[in-house]
Amino acid sequence: MRDYIKREDAIAILERLRDKCGNDEMSFALNWAANIVRNMTAAYVVTRARWIPVTERLPEGPYGCLLIVWDSPSDGGDDFLNYLTYFAGWDGEQWNDDNGIQVPFEVAYWMPLPQLPKGDANMQNGGEEA
């Protein structure tokens, strides 16, 4: 599944809708939307978060991440994938928790943490980066 729709595909969809629409106001609005998409820069592209296999790539910096790790049951059975729910980061050599202690599991997948909500009065600094 793609993480985004290509600009050309979005424009084509909007233009097809515009051409099939019998309403002048709606046609104008669809043409306006197609022009906005046509003139968007890459900065407007937002990708969906996804689990990234460590075999595909690792974080480029010491980012906070969510992890899925290989875990072992206490009865000695087969390893299984498990969510590791505490804050962890990659320091370029190993995964560490928020205290700098190495994560004691083999990491299978990671996902960068999303940005904090903006404008929420309950968030420190209003969700803005310091």
Q: Are 65 and 95 in the same domain?
A: yes
Answer yes or no: is 126 within a domain: no
pLDDT (tens, 9 = 90+) of the chain, 130 residues, equals: 455 677 888 888 888 888 887 778 888 888 888 888 888 776 555 566 788 999 999 988 777 888 888 877 767 778 777 776 667 888 888 898 878 889 888 888 988 887 777 776 666 554 444 4
Gap between the Cα atoms of 64 and 29, Å rounded: 41
Gap between the Cα atoms of 110 and 12, Å rounded: 35
Q: Are 87 and 70 in the same domain?
A: yes
Q: Are 38 and 86 in the same domain?
A: no
Domain enclosing residue 14, as ranges: 7-44
**Predicted local distance difference test score (pLDDT) of residue 35:** 85
DSSP strand pairing (106-112 vs 95-97)? unpaired
- Domains in the chain, number: 2
Q: Are 106 and 73 in the same domain?
A: yes
**Predicted local distance difference test score (pLDDT) of residue 130:** 45
Distance, CA of 100 to chain centre:
24
**Predicted local distance difference test score (pLDDT) of residue 126:** 47
Strands annotated E in 5-90? 52-53, 64-71, 80-90
Answer yes or no: is 107 within a domain: yes
Answer yes or no: is 77 within a domain: yes
